[in-house]
């Protein structure tokens, strides 16, 4: 990774950490998921509002390190309006990015999320970056059990 790209990635993470998108509680959420990473002290709650198989609203609250917060901020920005299938596809792409198992070129799908790639050499930070995404997957699975085919 060249220095220019690294600086850009760092800027994206700092921006999302300082100005997290969708950082609020949601009173009428369909699903709420706790996302905790005690090793780092990251502790969030992810809110999902689902209708007709889509994420119509998404938000989060809590506190933690810059990586975890930036990751959740980008997650929400990318997934508002997404279908369950699109959300799970993005989860898989991010998971592959963070574990270094990327197959083919998923840059187009990942976009800004590629800024998280730098953590893959630091197992502790991989947990921070993936925290919100595991909560998302858990939330979608829980909603499927609860609401069945309508979501
Ligand atoms: Zn963290």
pLDDT the model gives residue 151: 41
Indicate the range of 77-81, 125-129, 134-138, 140-144 predicted with least confidence: 140-144
CA of 124 to the centre of ligand 1 (A): 8
pTM (two decimals):
0.92
Distance 65 CA to ligand 1 centre (A): 4
Structure tokens at 34: 């706790």
The closest of 87, 70, 81 to 125, measured between CA atoms, is: 70
Tell whether the model's pLDDT for residue 18 goes beyond 90. yes
**Among residues 65, 78, 66, which one has the least CA distance to residue 113?**
78
Q: Which of 6, 11, 134, 5 is nearest to 68 (CA)?
A: 134
How far does the centroid of ligand 1 lie from the alpha carbon of residue 36, in Å? 9
Q: Is a pLDDT exceeding 70 seen at residue 148?
A: no
- Counting residues of the chain whose pLDDT is more than 90, the rounded percentage is 74
Q: What is the pLDDT of residue 61?
A: 98
The answer on pLDDT for 103 being more than 70 is: no
Per the structure block, which two tokens stand in for 82? 């997404």
Domains, the chain, ranges and CATH?
Answer: 3-146 (3.90.1010.10)
Helix (H, G, I), strand (E, B), or coil: what is residue 22? coil
Distance 4 CA to ligand 1 centre (A): 24
Rounded to whole angstroms, the Cα distance separating 138 from 141 reads 5
C-alpha 53 to ligand 1 mean position (Å):
31
Task: Report yes or no: 134 and 126 within 8 Å, Cβ to Cβ.
Answer: no
Residue 147 clears pLDDT 70, i.e. is over it:
no
Ligand 1 centroid to Cα of residue 51, in Å, is 31
pLDDT at residue number 77: 96
């Amino acid at each position: 990774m060249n220095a220019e790209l690294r600086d850009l990635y760092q800027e994206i993470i700092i921006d999302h950490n300082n100005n997290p998108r969708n950082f609020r509680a949601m009173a009428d959420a369909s699903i709420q998921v706790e996302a905790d990473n005690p090793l780092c002290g990251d502790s969030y709650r992810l809110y999902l509002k689902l209708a007709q198989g889509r994420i119509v609203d998404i938000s989060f609250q809590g506190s933690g390190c810059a990586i975890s917060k930036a990751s959740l901020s980008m997650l929400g920005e990318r997934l508002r309006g997404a279908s369950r299938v699109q959300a799970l596809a993005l989860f898989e792409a991010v998971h592959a990015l963070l574990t270094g198992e990327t197959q083919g070129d998923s840059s187009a799908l990942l976009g800004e999320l590629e800024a998280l790639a730098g953590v893959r050499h630091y197992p502790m930070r991989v947990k921070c970056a993936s925290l919100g995404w595991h909560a998302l997957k858990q939330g979608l699975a829980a909603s499927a059990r609860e609401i069945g085919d309508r979501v």
